[in-house]
Amino acid sequence: MLLNIFTSIRPKVAILFFLLAGTGIYAQNSVEKALFTEGFENVRHISKAGKEIIFIESESFTYGDRVIESVKGAIESLYPEFKSKNVEVFLMDDRIPKFRMYSTLAGDASGAKWYSDFNVSEGIAELNKLDGKKFENSSFGKVDLKFYPIFRFKNARLDVMYLLQLNINPTLEISLWRGATATAQVIFPLVNDYSTEEGRIRPGFLTLSQQFRLPFNIHAMATVGNFNMFRAGADLKLYKPVGSRIGVYAQMSYTAYSIPFFSDWYYTSPDKFTWKVGANYIVKPWNLMFNMNLAKYLGNDLSVRGEVTRYFRNAAVGFYVQTMDIPDFPVNGGFYFAISLPPYKHKRNKFVRVSAGNYFPLEYIARPYTEHGRYFTTSPDENSSYNFFTKMRLNQIILNSTNN
């Protein structure tokens, strides 16, 4: 009897399968397969009349010129597979389109001239027309285990030159639904001359972030959880590109005092509202970024800060000056840098990828205070050189450099 039932429903199952295949499931085409092999994630290729549209995410490569070079090289090598010579590539972050590269390929396509902007609306509209699975090699549910080296020093005692601190902080970053990432970090002190509490193994960043795009091409990221600088709460960042060189941004945060340990968690009710508004400007021929902002910092002080950052292939270095709301200390300044950490291509083994953090950052601040002029960060890969407000602009700087 069971055999008869199976025999009778088998043709119906086959018909249902092919119907589903025609409506929601698509076969990976040769372009998507090649990009998947190169290590890209969240890939989709749409071929329409007169244009090839490609969505791509390059988490396998560290930020910087390697992202742009890898995308350009892959697309130019696939030119024979395209039906049209006009190509648009949308770079994404957590499956949110952020940046557009476009070119008209000809001949063997090598050395093609590429252009860029932040006009991603048309690409998003094409993506929203699709049924079924959006991306090939989706990052959904996949895990990155990253190790962030942290080095700090301060001159606070007369009997020693400097107090040192060196931590290796393993961090799990889990890709969730579109635009969402969960982060869980453990702080492992290796060398500690700071406080007794900072010499203990303890939780670090414990956050959930959600990226989304608002009308008028405003990119946003909301984050809740435990941050650094002994703060926990909610944070919202907004960034809007204006033209080819300028971007404006804002940040608002409502946080509480927080010191988590594995045995106890010391915290208060939310007591700090901090904010920041500013703009950045790029000077393309020299890979420079100028940044100016006004902020209310953790010391409840208002401060104006100006920065200039020079970006190189494997590093960035910058200088800053800021006003201080302290009568005896009205102006302060310092420098910062970030060095790209090898390996420069991170391969994912199934659902887990192990690597160092993208950069080792360090900021030198000469100050006799703890919270004045200081703001926390909401993720371990955020620093003065590379953050939510600069990452999109850096793609444009680097693409212009490679074209020259």
Which of 9-13, 102-106, 158-162, 174-178 has the highest average model confidence (pLDDT)? 174-178
Which structure tokens are listed for 231? 């703060």
Domain membership of residue 3 (yes or no) is no
- Tell me the angle at which helices 30-37 and 65-77 cross, rounded to the nearest 10 degrees: 140
74 and 153 part of one domain: no
281 and 337 part of one domain: yes
Q: Are 386 and 358 in contact (CB under 8 A)?
A: yes
- Full 3-state SS string of 79-100: HHHCCCCEEEEEEEECCEEEEE
Q: How confident is the model at residue 258 (pLDDT cuts 50, 70, 90)?
A: very high
Lowest mean pLDDT, pick from 70-74, 115-119, 192-196, 388-392: 192-196
pLDDT of res. 171: 95
Which structure tokens are listed for 336? 């910062």
Q: How far is the C-alpha of 26 from the C-alpha of 133, rounded, in Å?
A: 8
Tens digits of per-residue pLDDT, 371-381? 888 899 999 98
49 and 104 part of one domain: yes
Residue 178 DSSP class? T
Domain end call among 128, 162, 184: 128
Residue 155 predicted with pLDDT over 90: no
Residue 74 predicted with pLDDT over 50: yes
Greater model confidence, 169 or 110: 169
Q: How confident is the model at residue 63 (pLDDT cuts 50, 70, 90)?
A: low
97 and 211 part of one domain: no
**Residues with Cβ < 8 Å from 255, sequence gap 6 or more?**
227, 231, 232, 233, 234, 235, 270, 271, 272, 274, 376
- Using a 10 angstrom Cβ sphere, with 0-12 exposed, 13-18 middle and 19 or more buried, the burial of residue 113 is exposed
Q: How far is the C-alpha of 144 from the C-alpha of 147, rounded, in Å?
A: 10
Tens digits of per-residue pLDDT, 180-192? 999 999 999 888 7
32 and 178 part of one domain: no
254 and 108 part of one domain: no
Q: Which CATH number covers residue 113?
A: 3.30.70
State the residue range of the domain holding 57: 26-128
pLDDT of res. 305: 95
394 and 330 part of one domain: yes
Element (H, E) at 52: strand 51-57
pLDDT of res. 114: 83
pLDDT of res. 133: 63
Tens digits of per-residue pLDDT, 203-219? 999 999 999 999 998 99
Residue 217 DSSP class? G
pLDDT of res. 251: 97
pLDDT more than 90, % of the chain: 29
Domain membership of residue 133 (yes or no) is no
Domain membership of residue 5 (yes or no) is no
Greater model confidence, 244 or 366: 244
Residue 370 predicted with pLDDT over 80: no
| Type of residue at 291 | N
351 and 286 part of one domain: yes
pLDDT of res. 16: 37
Q: Which residues pair with 115 in a beta bridge?
A: 102
Give the CA-trace dihedral at 276, 282, 288, 293, to 10 degrees.
-20
361 and 393 part of one domain: yes
* Beta strand ranges found along 155-287 (DSSP E): 163-175, 180-192, 202-214, 218-226, 231-242, 246-260, 265-267, 272-283
pLDDT of res. 161: 62
Residue 401 predicted with pLDDT over 70: no
Tens digits of per-residue pLDDT, 296-348? 999 899 999 999 999 887 889 999 999 988 887 888 888 999 988 877 777 66
Domain end call among 128, 156, 189: 128
- Full 3-state SS string of 289-311: EEEEEEEECCCCCEEEEEEEEEE
363 and 224 part of one domain: yes
Average pLDDT of the chain, as a whole number: 81
Q: How confident is the model at residue 23 (pLDDT cuts 50, 70, 90)?
A: very low
Number of domains in the chain: 2
pLDDT of res. 225: 96
Mean pLDDT of the region 48-66: 74
Q: Which residues pair with 361 in a beta bridge?
A: 338
